Amino acid sequence: DGQRLSANVSAPVRDWNSLGMARTSGGVLCPSLLLCLCFLLVALAVRLKPCDLAGQLYILDVPKSELPLWLCIAEFESRFNTHAVGQANADGSRDYGLFQISDRFWCSPPNQTDYYAFNECNVNCTRLLSDDITMAVQCARVIRKQQGWTAWSVYGQYCNGTLDAAGIDECFQAGNETSTSCAE
């Protein structure tokens, strides 16, 4: 088998995937270019500090008594990353943002999908990837109202009854604007 490169020259077809290179319709991307792109995406992602998130949630009228649960879910779903997009789920859906909200049920996927998206939050999923967490919190409230905390798979294992609510108070003490952990 050969692939025509010009009128008179042919070259064997190479399996670039076995060499760890990604194919594109125009050729092959250099692995170092892919690595650079990955680092750039990670650098652009915003990771909130726990106390910063607690403050933002409190401003959005989340009661202090609920803050440990919200922080736990954000930590274990996205590692406090407002721009997190999860790997494809078994049904092809993806999860978006700080609270990893599913495009299958809660938000409208940015691209055409093979599945029906219910969009219960009436929001495009890309709006959940904002540093302004208002839409993510509003949608998470809809989810919680309909399904409770157990809508998040991390709730049962990591966030159910094991949280120290007293640690949240440290986030609201004067002089702790740079605190990085609410539970220490």
* 132 pLDDT above the threshold of 80: yes
pTM: 0.70
Q: How many domains does the chain have?
A: 1
In this prediction, residues 70-78 reach a mean pLDDT of: 97
Residue 11 lies in a domain: no
For 157, the domain range is 50-170
Quick: pLDDT tens for 148-168: 999 999 999 999 876 677 788
Is 178 within the bounds of a domain?
A: no
Mean pLDDT of 57-64: 96
Lowest mean pLDDT among 8-12, 87-91, 96-100, 103-107: 8-12
Q: Kindly report the CATH number assigned to the domain that includes residue 135.
A: 1.10.530.10
179 falls within a domain:
no
Residue 2 three-state SS: strand
Residue 59 CB burial class (10 angstroms; 0-12, 13-18, ≥19): exposed
The answer to whether residue 28 is domain-embedded is: no
96 close to 77: Cβ distance less than 8 angstroms: no
Q: pLDDT at residue 26 above 50? A: no
Closest CA to 79 of 124, 47, 114: 47
Least reliable range by pLDDT among 99-103, 128-132, 180-184: 180-184
What residues act catalytically?
77, 95
Answer yes or no: is 1 within a domain.
no
Burial 81-98 (b: 16+ CB within 10 A, else e): bbbbbbeeeeeebbbbbb
Q: Counting every residue, how long is the chain? A: 184
Residue 14 in any domain: the answer is no
Residue 39 maps to a domain: no
User: Has residue 111 been placed in a domain?
Assistant: yes
